[in-house]
Amino acid sequence: MPTNQPHMRPYEEEYANFTWETSRKELGYKDGDVINIGEYCTDRICRQGKGDKLALIWEGHSGEEKRYTFNDMRQLTNTIADFLQKLGIQPGERVCLFMDKVPELYFGFLGVLKMGAIVQPLFSAFGSESLLTRLDNAKTRAIFTQKKHLPKVRNITKDLPELKHIIVVDDDGLKPLRELEVAFHMDKAERIDKFDIYPSLAETPSVLHYTSGTTGQPKGAQHVHYSIISQYITAKYVLDLKDDDIYWCTADPGWVTGTSYGIIGAWSNGVTQCVLDAGFKAETWYKFIEKHKISMWYSAPTAIRALMKEGNEVVKKFDLSSLRHLASVGEPLNAEAVIWSKEVFGLYFHDTFWQTETGCIVISNYPGMKIKPGSMGKPFPGIEATVVDLKTHEPIEKKGIVGMIALKPGWPSMVRTYWNNESTYKSKFSKGWYHCGDRASIDEDGYYWFVGRDDDVINTGGHLVGPFEIESALLEHPAVAESAVVGKPDPVNMEVVKAFITLKPGFNSDKMLELEIMNFVRKKLSALAMPQEIEFVDSLPKTRSGKIMRRVLRAKEWGEEIGDISTLENDM
């Protein structure tokens, strides 16, 4: 059982004395050294004498289990890297991972980095349209996928001239593969014990994560190998990972949490982690914790609220005494959930705040620090944070005043650019600060309190969904004339997607059409992007220049003041 003595010193002392050099020294890194995330998470751990230690305990939806040591992982990531090299993949080219949470996804991530390509993880629930948008933007050269997702890839192959290889990790040989398609069986392949790691440097591109925006296409956030300096130490200090922990990060690596802390943070610390490739069910989750004696659990408010909904009695059926530290990520964790977790688990869930663009946790509640239920906590040591005035972009000195969260650039895992979109990247900075796009206030004790997004991006279950992409998909339905998408309050998911739609002549609004449109979006994009509610309207609120005013629709859903509507072309 891991000790409960935190790695991190008392907060004020740590914040006053911390430098990123602490992480660099612990990782054995000096300026100019080769720094390859794949190597640091596998070979380096084996050199420390931990080759026989369990790296991954994987469990599938039907209960099947696989276990891999760090030496297994070292060899298998070499095998994947060698396979890609022999296909002709070059350093710097993009390799997409489009799979469920199978071992090949996790080892593929590190294998791609070992041979110098840029890894592009995408959520396996994406439909063909969402997949096409991201692969086309990145000019992806190869994609790893499974049989179940192959039809979605085949639907768009003709529109992706840069895509040269479709790698199927579970092909059974029953049907012939098509042009560009090749089978790769990780567990059956001849293991490669020695592989010449690509000599990546601090600023060599590593991971390309796509994040939704208010307007336009999703943006590819380009990270670099140096990001591990942040991810290693935040995993150690915030998640308090210890050498004898059994760790469970519930996030899918299609999202940044699943890579920064479901791969890099844990394995760079040499920690054993568990992965459950199954849908959410309270009893399944509790049984998983009990079975594997999980000690550190990093989850999302959506899941925590869903567990709350299942009640306290189900918890009592399981022995969860192995748990020693809990943390939450993806969206604000409401105070009720923090208090509930203390009641049923004897432990608080520690809320953490960060983004795809920050690459690591930047504001958090820390082990040993006083918890204020509902608060985001305080800035991580090494991060200079504030809230700035929404108009002047100057820091707000007075406590309790709402502003936009802003960070002083320079931490190691900060996004370096948006793929082929430098102008949007630069727009995120003003007066020496990076603007997160989230509003908050700071209390007298220095704790941050989340207020809301500063744009129209919808946070559903901790996943950011851009309205533009959904509206574009809606307009492809033959019945839809115009559409506007906003977030609607939801007790479990924080927000769900609601669409306002005007119909073309000849179509009548009814329940059948509503369901048809919902499923249309679900198939094109993903279940997350599917509207949970559709309201058919005669017209949408627009400015006199024709721009749809989503904020008017959103304000009505949230019971907020509509504000200035002098630019509306018609009265509501």
pLDDT in tens, 103-137: 999 999 999 999 999 999 999 989 999 999 999 99
- The span from the CA of 379 to the CA of 386, in Å, is 9
Lowest-pLDDT choice from 233-242, 294-303, 450-459 = 450-459
Query: Other CB atoms closer than 10 Å to residue 401's CB: what's the count?
Result: 11
Residue 571 clears pLDDT 50, i.e. is over it: no
Query: Other CB atoms closer than 10 Å to residue 542's CB: what's the count?
Result: 17
Q: Which CATH architecture has domain 11-382?
A: 3-Layer(aba) Sandwich (3.40)
Give the β-pairing of 433-442 and 463-465.
Answer: unpaired
SS3 250: coil
- The span from the CA of 425 to the CA of 211, in Å, is 12
Lowest-pLDDT choice from 19-28, 359-368, 466-475 = 466-475
Structure confidence at residue 465 (pLDDT): 80
Comparing 542 with 101, the larger pLDDT belongs to 101
- The span from the CA of 22 to the CA of 85, in Å, is 35
Give the β-pairing of 296-299 and 325-328.
Answer: parallel
Percentage of the residues of the chain whose pLDDT score is greater than 70: 95
Can you give the pTM of this predicted structure?
0.86
pLDDT in tens, 54-81: 999 999 999 999 999 999 999 999 999 9
Give domain limits for the chain. 11-382, 458-558
pLDDT in tens, 497-513: 999 998 988 999 999 99
Comparing 473 with 177, the larger pLDDT belongs to 177
pLDDT band at 545 (very low <50, low <70, confident <90, very high): very low
Does residue 343 contact residue 373 with C-beta atoms inside 8 Å? no
Query: Other CB atoms closer than 10 Å to residue 444's CB: what's the count?
Result: 7
Backbone angles phi, psi at 186, to 5 degrees: -60, -45
Retrieve residue 325's tokens. Answer: 């530290």
Locate all alpha helices (DSSP H) within 47-174, ordered by sequence. Answer: 70-87, 103-114, 128-138, 150-156
- The span from the CA of 547 to the CA of 543, in Å, is 5
HSE-up of residue 493 (Cα within 13 Å, Cβ side): 18
Does residue 61 contact residue 33 with C-beta atoms inside 8 Å? no
3-state secondary structure 393-449: CCECCCCCCCEEEEECCCCCCCCCEECCCHHHHHCCEECCEEEEEEEEEECCCCCEE
Mean pLDDT (whole number) for 390-413: 94
Is 458-558 in CATH node 3.30.300.30? yes
Structure confidence at residue 419 (pLDDT): 97
Q: What is the CA radius of gyration of the chain?
A: 23
Strand partners, 222: 208, 417
SS3 506: coil
Mean pLDDT (whole number) for 448-465: 78
